[in-house]
Every structure is written in structure tokens, then in C-alpha cells.
């Protein structure tokens, strides 16, 4: 059976988050968390309830956080901020979105309308630095 795991992140600060999965998905999540605690980082392939695969990365960061955290703390770096906090001007965002859309349109499988392989999806995400 596939490792099904849906992760519903916070829409904004103070909103709830939710993780829902089948037993195999939750066990894989548990194992990945354990590996991240041992090694600092773990990545595994999971499947959303629509059957699409995705990479799940879990990282451990024990740096200081809050108002007393040093500037080089992970929690003070842009990659620690939720996407809804990241700033980008609208012109740049529009250009990047158009390029990403074009990459996906070029990646569709010709024999199956609106389908893309997991490998092509990962390649596009990697190209754009999306984790």
C-alpha cells in the first residue's frame, strides 16, 4: 500500500496545522522524524491522497530562536520563514510564475492528457529551488 500523507500547513500565523495519513504513511513519517533526529535531516517519498508523489524533508535545527537568537541562527534565515512571509515584487513573481508554468506545460506526457511523471516534477522543482 502507498504511504499516504496529507500535510495541511498553517494558512497564516496562529492557524492550526494538520497531518492526515494512512498507517504506512504515518509510520514512514515516524521513521523520517527518527532519522532527522539522528542525522539532522531526512528525506522520504510520500503520496498525497490524490496519488501524487512528493518529497518530504524533515530537518532538525536546535539553534536559539526568538528575540535573543543570534543573526546566524537558522530561525533568522529567509528559508525558515513560511512562504506567506517571503517578499517578492509582483513583476518578478509574474515572470517566474510564467516560466514555471511553461516548464510544466513542456513536461506533460503526450499520451496521457494533463499527466506528468514524478521525475519531471522533481526536476522542475529542483531547477527552481523548490523543496
What is the domain partition of the chain in residue ranges? Answer: 1-87, 89-131
38 vs 25, 32, 34, 43, CA distance in Å?
20, 10, 6, 13
pLDDT of the residue at 43: 94
pLDDT over threshold 90, residue 4: yes
Instruction: Find out whether 79 and 7 touch, Cβ atoms under 8 Å.
Output: no
pLDDT of the residue at 127: 76
pLDDT over threshold 90, residue 7: yes
Helices (DSSP H) in the chain: which residue ranges? 23-39, 90-107, 118-127
Please report which confidence band the pLDDT of residue 88 belongs to, taking 50, 70 and 90 as the band edges.
Answer: low
For residues 29 and 125, the model is more confident at 29
Instruction: Find out whether 124 and 96 touch, Cβ atoms under 8 Å.
Output: no
pLDDT over threshold 60, residue 68: yes
For residues 10 and 83, the model is more confident at 10
Classify burial at 6, counting beta carbons within 10 Å of its beta carbon; exposed 0-12, middle 13-18, buried 19 or more.
middle
For residues 34 and 65, the model is more confident at 34
Please report which confidence band the pLDDT of residue 83 belongs to, taking 50, 70 and 90 as the band edges.
Answer: low
- pLDDT tens sequence across 43-61: 999 999 888 889 999 988 8
Amino acid at each position: 500500500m502507498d504511504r499516504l500523507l496529507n500535510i495541511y500547513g498553517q494558512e497564516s500565523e496562529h492557524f492550526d496545522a494538520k497531518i492526515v495519513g494512512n498507517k504506512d504513511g504515518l509510520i514512514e513519517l515516524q521513521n523520517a522524524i527518527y532519522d532527522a533526529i539522528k542525522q539532522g535531516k531526512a528525506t522520504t517519498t510520500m503520496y498525497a491522497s490524490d496519488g501524487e508523489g512528493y518529497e518530504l524533508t524533515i530537518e532538525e535545527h536546535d539553534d536559539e530562536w526568538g528575540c535573543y537568537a543570534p543573526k546566524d541562527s537558522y530561525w533568522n534565515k529567509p528559508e525558515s520563514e513560511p512562504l506567506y512571509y517571503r517578499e517578492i515584487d509582483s513583476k518578478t513573481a509574474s515572470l517566474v510564475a510564467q516560466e514555471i508554468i511553461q516548464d510544466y506545460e513542456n513536461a506533460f506526457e503526450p499520451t496521457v492528457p494533463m499527466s506528468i511523471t514524478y521525475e519531471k516534477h522533481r526536476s522542475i522543482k529542483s531547477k527552481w529551488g523548490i523543496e
